[in-house]
Amino acid sequence: MKLILHIALLSAGVYGAAYFIPDTIHVNPWYIAAIVGACLTVINMVVKPIINILTLPINILTLGLFSIAINGAIFYFLGSGIVRGFAVDTLTAALYGSIIVSIINWLGTKILKLENE
């Protein structure tokens, strides 16, 4: 059940990013946001821990700010043709979009109490 809620939160975040940054992030039709949310969930569960371990020294040097760049790169990677109907035009838009998705995911996790206790 938590997995489905995380997918829903990330999907809402992707749709919110497309709403707040309409000229450079495109989600068409609306259900593509659910597909991108599912892809982000899988990437966050499988690939991101490996990337975080590999980039740990630079992440420590930047006091964790490099993780924002990693999130933006993953968001840009998905928008560069991996998922049809989802497009991110610039890397800056991907960075802003990933910040919006992270904020919506964080707020939803806190409201729904999805963190491990």
CB under 8 Å to 48, separation ≥6 — which residues? Answer: 70, 74
7 — pLDDT class (breaks 50, 70, 90): very high
Alpha-carbon span 75 to 36, nearest angstrom: 9
Q: How many CA atoms lie within 13 A of 63 on its CB side?
A: 0
Alpha-carbon span 6 to 96, nearest angstrom: 20
1 — pLDDT class (breaks 50, 70, 90): confident
pLDDT tens digit sequence for 12-51: 999 999 999 989 999 998 899 999 999 999 999 999 999 9
pTM over 0.75? The answer is yes
∠ CA 101-15-81, nearest 5°, is: 90
Going from N- to C-terminal start, the domains of the chain cover 2-112
